[in-house]
Amino acid sequence: MSKIPVTVVVPVKNEEPNMVRCLDRLTGFDQVMVIDSKSTDKTAQIALEYGAEVHQFDWNGQFPKKRNWVLRNLNIKNEWVLFLDADEYMTDEFIEELKVAINRPEYNGYWIVFVNYFMGKQLKHGDPFKKLPLFRVGKGEYERINEDSWSHLDMEVHEHPIVEGKVGEFKSHIIHNDFKGLEHYIGKHNAYSTWEARRYMTLLQTGFEGLNKRQKFKYRLLETGWLPFVYFVGSYLLKMGFLDGKEGYYFARFKSNYFLQIQTKIKEFRKI
């Protein structure tokens, strides 16, 4: 059978617990690139065993970061590129829809809703996890944020792809399930909250132009101090996260605490 003409890019660092589950579902794709940030575990070895291309990325602290570096520097063989994290797993339904979607000439990209797992349980309610990881090569790139002097993250985490032309949305989903546990989840979001706080401090100097409505609303709530409360009420109560049981409660609390971390770090930076 012919391979699916899509290049799947998997940015990684020390993702050994997730690699096999992720790559098992990518054997039918024409090109799989694993972009490694010098992992110290068996991440790269597993990728090579699956026949993936392994490229090492050493960030110099300036633009471009990992995903845009791939788009600008590596040989992407196909018209479409899909960026997939190691803790994200394709379903059969998603792959079948993908085969059809890439042949629709009117679209240059697609939004995808992810099925999120937390503490081993699928969350069916609350704030949906959605992003735009699939687009035509040459029609999209991740937004550039002026962060050369303060960022410590080598990959676009909160940056969104800017895609030319019409963008559609998938009906099927990708599974998001990180098997590293709560310690990793908390540590990761601690790093992300520092990035968010530093970005906010930079935006105070440069202005908030160019942000989408959701981002502007988030930063307005950060300024008022209401964001953690508003998120918890919106996700857990209004969007019925409580129907996911104790895991839904813990997820909403952790996420609202993430916004509390951003707020308090901003206060600390203002005193420096």
Write out the H or E segment, with its range, that includes residue 123: strand 121-123
Portion of the chain with pLDDT greater than 70, in percent: 99
pLDDT band at 1 (very low <50, low <70, confident <90, very high): low
- List Cβ neighbours of 181 (8 Å cut-off, separation of 6 or more): none
Domains and CATH numbers, the chain: 4-176 (3.90.550.10), 182-271 (no CATH)
How many other CB atoms sit within 10 Å of the CB of residue 121? Answer: 16
* 192-206 pLDDT per residue, tens: 999 999 999 988 888
* 94-105 pLDDT per residue, tens: 999 999 999 999
Please state the rounded mean pLDDT for residues 146-174: 90
User: How much is the pLDDT for 271?
Assistant: 87
Mean pLDDT of the chain: 94
User: How much is the pLDDT for 171?
Assistant: 97
| Residue listed under structure tokens 């890019």 | 9
Angle at 167 between CA 165 and CA 170, to 5 degrees: 160
Taking the C-alpha atoms of residue 137 and residue 27, their distance in angstroms, rounded to an integer, is 21
* 127-150 pLDDT per residue, tens: 999 999 999 999 999 998 877 767
* 221-233 pLDDT per residue, tens: 988 999 999 999 9
Q: Quick one: DSSP state of residue 3?
A: P
